[in-house]
Chain A
Amino acid sequence: MLYNSPSPLEVKILTRRFGLSNSASLDTYLATDGYKALGKALAMKPEEIIEQVKISNLRGRGGAGFPTGMKWSFVPRNSPKPKYVVVNADEGEPGTCKDRLLLENDPHQLIEGVLIAALAVGAEAGYVYIRGEYRYLIEIMDRAIEEAKQNGYLGSNILGSGFHFELYTHTGAGSYECGEESALLESLEGKRGVPRIRPPFPAVVGVFGCPTVLNNVETLSAIPAIIRDGGPAFAALGTPKNGGTRLFCLSGHVNKPGVYELPMGFNLRRMIEEVGGGVRRGKKLKAVIPGGSSCPVLKAEECDIAMDFDSLARAGSMLGSGGVVVMDEDTCMAQAALRIMRFYAHESCGWCTPCREGTLWLRKILTRLHEGYGSRSDIALIRDIARNMLGRTFCPLGDAAAMPTISLVEKFSEDFEAHLGHRGCPFESHEQRVLAK
């Protein structure tokens, strides 16, 4: 199912089957070029597959933006151990709801992407790690896997080629941290989702101590199009070093929130105005979180920017997982900072002290400040604590909590100061006004 209308500005590569009847079925998939890329990949050498992925400039859609082809090339092909492909379907970055659509509407595209990744690295089994809340998607995925198996696209001797590959779904049970690759592997092994020190990276020592390719749902869903139409065609859709399209999740104060597939490098202001229909109720834009709650916020005047990994990095933020959270002029940025910190404090796994203690204290101080019991020195303290978390943890969760906080305090200090000596938040959102009636 789709939950919002498409936009005429979309470039539909990964979402091309969205809206077709029974888009999740093998029949629909086969009728629309499905498993053609697999046929092609079976005739290619692993190095040739990796080369096409490198040329495509596909970068990890989970948030880090690491070049996918390069990641695959790190898997030691001569290792005597079995190799695995693990799909990260533990979507949980606040602001992000795209993998859900890819799993729901086109599971065979993901399976085909996994199979091609397996050919590239020599894997014979894989897991789709799906967050526990997405139970209906586990059922959709299981049905697609079964259908693929019965028709010779999974299992032994795939399409008569001698290639053997098994794919399984695996449920999580409520943990944002398990979306981090090494914590995901721990969880997949039946343990608490705490991160592993790296190196060794999962490409060398991953699940069950074996070489593992771990990619996001959207990353692997892009692979069939890359192999089918060639790496250069995919690269040409985006900007230099940022190939292809991406599923942007527009949320917050826009008239037409929704998930839209747009070319990499699409202008953010245009995305808000022309795809999202502008800020709702004719309000002025105040700020945008460009790639999920871990990303430093952009002020309204910073939104004339190309939405690709490098442009956002230059602007001091990140493209992250594609969650574009739009905030209008009535939004209290101290409240936004507090809500985001409550999330990270809840989700910190507790393994690393700076993250466990830092998120807890930041939540306490932000709560105090937002309720009007803070002092001027609290604002400096927030920055100080957050800065001391940066780079001091096993996994990026500590940074993910600190970075948006630092940006919110630095770019919207007046919002934080407005709470000093003011009992209760001085801002009032549209929803609060409606409720007060």
Chain B
Amino acid sequence: MTFSPELEARFEKLLCNYPPGRQRAALIPMLLYAQDEIGSVTSEVVDEVARRLQLTKLDIEQVLSYYSMLRKKAMGKHHIQICTNISCMLAGGAELYEHACRKLGIKDKEVTPDGLFSLEEVECIGACSWGPAIQVNYDFYHHMTPEAFDRLIESLRKIH
């Protein structure tokens, strides 16, 4: 399979970051960056990365199943991750998550029928002092309220 020239350039640079014979170190970054481009770690991605790093598919599956950000199923265009861990919970994160489920009509790790949104209840994302916090793909949003959440969803719908 082929990746974009940007991703290929990134892989090339990445593989130079580790000492000779230690290229396996690039595995987790490669899977995550490939997922960013393709949407999920498909079996084609597994095969391709296995070939490039001279690993078995099993080696890759073992790693893939461990890390919570790596997934085999594509999420929505806007993957909404809501933190409900202790600090965000105290600031209303759990209620925000319930609100989001109702607003989007989906539950944890589900995708809306139009493929635009997906939802995930996540563990601490490092925004504890500014909670409740969410991430849409890699972007942080702090001090979220149900109203601010609705506005965000509408604005994301528009940029679709």
Contact = CB atoms under 8 A, between A and B. Distances in A.
Contacts of B68: 173-175
A429 B95 CA distance: 10
Contacts of B129: 3-4, 97, 249-251, 257-259
B58 interface: no
Contacts of A430: 92
Interface in A395-432: 429-432
Contacts of B86: 94-95, 252, 289, 293, 325, 336, 339-340, 343
Nearest to B128: A251
A55 to B, nearest CB: 32
A231 interface: no
A97 B31 contact: no
Interface residues of B, number: 46
Contacts of B135: 133
A186 to B, nearest CB: 10
Contacts of B84: 339
A436 to B, nearest CB: 10
A173 B63 CA distance: 10
Interface string B125-147: 11111110001001100100000
Contact of B70 (A4, A173, A258): A173
Interface in B44-80: 53, 62-63, 66-70
Given A3-B142, A97-B126, A173-B70, 16 more contacts: A3-B130, A82-B19, A95-B87, A97-B130, A99-B126, A125-B19, A172-B28, A174-B67, A175-B66, A249-B128, A258-B130, A259-B129, A293-B85, A293-B86, A339-B85, A347-B123
Interface of A: 3-4, 82, 91-97, 99-100, 125, 127, 131-136, 168, 170-176, 187-193, 208, 249-253, 257-259, 289, 293, 323, 325-327, 331, 335-336, 339-340, 343, 346-347, 349, 429-432, 434-435
5 contacts: A94-B86, A96-B126, A100-B127, A133-B126, A174-B67
